[in-house]
Structure 1
Amino acid sequence: MPDAETTQQVITDAKPFGDIDGGCDCHAHMIGYDPRFPLSSSRAEDPEQGSLHYWLDQYRTHLRSLGLSRGVIVHSMLYGLDNSITAEAIRQLGQTNFRAIGLVDNEVSETQLDKMAQDGFKGVRLNYVHGGTLDWRGTQALAPRLRARGMHVQILLHSHKHMTEIAPALKQLECDTVIDHMGWPDMAAGPNEAGFSQLLSLLADDRVWLKLSGVYRFSESPFSEADSFVRAALAVNPTRCIWGSDWPFIMLGGANQPRVPDLSAALLRAIPEHKLQQAILQTNPTELFSF
């Protein structure tokens, strides 16, 4: 992983989106070395050095460089089920323009969920790709408890591996569902692949939201391979699509470290229409995250 100086250069060189008022980066992570926020003993890697204060400053710079003023911090599994670093980040950033997604297990208590909602968490994450302590059965049981608190489920999966299995149950899930990283599709199979087609069907029926993020994980810069997937999603339901950078690019898993300007340029190339940019960066996140 790059050192902090390299990361800062990547952020500073980014190109702003322009005049999107109230625009939101709907997917970033927060890291920082602090004895209050212990790392998980089962973590896959160590985050970059730097205090939480340092990384919050970097995050603010990241947003300014894109011309965005809102953000969603997705709790990293590097810290396990202890969501405190993410809660502290939201506390310092302020709930006016910032929200969080947390990690829980099947046994999460009512008290824990109440505290998360109070701290600005708008959802929890189910991870089919890297694993985790929340499984699909637990998610189904948890869904009405989340809905009662204005929260949703965020799912990281491979659409070509997992969507056929869970699509029927997703139609019945008793809370909103956000699919991360465009369903991490199989680029070689194209947007007509069966699993991605099922994802698009759910999107068309307002059963899921789709995050147009993570393209660097399954394609190479300038990420033009992903354009047809982005456009296919927008063709069926542009009111349910949002965008996130995935900054600061942790747990790369063999993917190349991306540059933020390349990620923003990829979105603008795939979606040149200003009206759609406004919907994806501002209107849709405002509805989903209750800004």
Structure 2
Amino acid sequence: MNLVDTHVHVFTQDLPMLAARRYTPAYDATLEDYREHGARAGITHTVLVQPSFLGFDNSHMLAALRRDPQRLRGVAVLPVDTPAAALDTLQRDGVVGVRLNLDGLALPPLHAPAWRVFLTELARRDMLVELHRAAIDLPALVPALLDAGVRVLVDHFGRPDDLLGRHDPGFQYLLSQAKTGRVWVKLAAGYRNGWTSADAQTAVEISVELLAHFGSGHLVWGSDWPHTRHEHQSIAGALTALEHGVPEPAQRQEILGTTAMRLFGF
């Protein structure tokens, strides 16, 4: 039985990091460390996501991908002027998508010529775009991505406002995009939305809404290991949270296995 963790970061403290970063790790999070934790949870396949504090230097992640091309895939962070030949190389190394981590940043002009070229090149290679932004801004971003022909994976439950929850207009917009068939949502790290253990019911309500609209064929799960800035979290805890939000075993197995295996090209 396949179990795919679609959101894992690997890094070491001595890597060159962005000068303007929100977070500096005080520990190493190696592939070996992760495998030890993941094995206990039964994880068989893993998607490595480039950490924001490493910027466009994906070399550490790429080195990890080359070590196990059968069980690892990657989501890179890239500049908009990345050459087509570089995308080909990244794809050969196991990169299946590009992350737009726009948390706290200005919205990019996705309809501008440079972005259109970049997104078209991604679509040509069937590389997805993983989008991390508060739900309220999704209507300003998702249409341009879909117009360019890329598949869209929205991070962290869609990032609804922690007070509005499922009533967030941006979240309601996200639900409406299920009909496109080209939008997926990642059930991962509710704590990034401000949800604490006291807000467990909010996470369940959001999961129920997403499942009702997208179905288990367009939802995936991620542990967010090593849970930067929330290191008290665990892979086991993330799986338990998924069980609460998706109590039906068959739906949960599709999310953990079939859907993720297909979306990330395993």
TM over 0.5: yes
* 1:144 correspondence with 2:120: yes
Are the equivalent residues in 1 in contact too, given 2:110–2:144 (CA < 8 A)? no
Give 4+ residue runs of structure 1 displaced > 6 Å after superposition.
none
Change (3 A) 1:41 1:190: closer
Are the equivalent residues in 1 in contact too, given 2:165–2:202 (CA < 8 A)? no
Q: What residue in structure 2 maps to residue 102 of structure 1?
A: 76
What pairs up with 1:278-289 in 2 under 5 angstroms? 278-289=253-264
Moved more, 257-266 or 279-288: 257-266
Q: CA RMSD in A?
A: 2.1
Q: TM-score, normalised by structure 2?
A: 0.90
Q: What residue in structure 2 maps to residue 153 of structure 1?
A: 129
Q: What residue in structure 2 maps to residue 3 of structure 1?
A: none
Q: Which amino acid aligns with 2:12?
A: G
1:217 counterpart (179, 183, 192): 192
Q: 1:124-150: per-residue Cα shift (whole Å, max 9, x none)?
A: 111221438976345443222112223
Q: Which amino acid aligns with 2:135?
A: S
1:120 counterpart (90, 94, 105): 94
Q: Percent identity?
A: 29
What pairs up with 1:118-197 in 2 under 5 angstroms? 118-131=92-105, 136-137=110-111, 138-160=114-136, 162-197=137-172
Are the equivalent residues in 2 in contact too, given 1:29–1:247 (CA < 8 A)? yes
Q: 1:145-198: per-residue Cα shift (whole Å, max 9, x none)?
A: 1122231111001002x0232344344231111101111111321313211011
Give how far 1:201 is off. Answer: 0.9
* 1:40 correspondence with 2:18: yes
Are the equivalent residues in 1 in contact too, given 2:225–2:234 (CA < 8 A)? no
Change (3 A) 1:195 1:45: closer
Q: Which amino acid aligns with 2:19?
A: S
CA distance in 2, matches of 1:105, 1:243: 26
Q: 1:108-128: per-residue Cα shift (whole Å, max 9, x none)?
A: 111211111011000011122
* 1:55 correspondence with 2:35: no
Q: TM-score, normalised by structure 1?
A: 0.83
SS in 2 for 1:186: coil
Q: Which amino acid aligns with 1:99?
A: R
CA distance in 2, matches of 1:126, 1:133: 10
Are the equivalent residues in 2 in contact too, given 1:245–1:263 (CA < 8 A)? yes
* 1:29 correspondence with 2:9: yes
1:85 counterpart (57, 60, 64): 60
Are the equivalent residues in 2 in contact too, given 1:216–1:256 (CA < 8 A)? no
CA distance in 1, matches of 2:225, 2:116: 29
Are the equivalent residues in 2 in contact too, given 1:24–1:281 (CA < 8 A)? yes
CA distance in 2, matches of 1:139, 1:212: 27
What are the ranges of 5 or more consecutive residues in structure 2 without an aligned counterpart? none
Q: What residue in structure 2 maps to residue 245 of structure 1?
A: 223
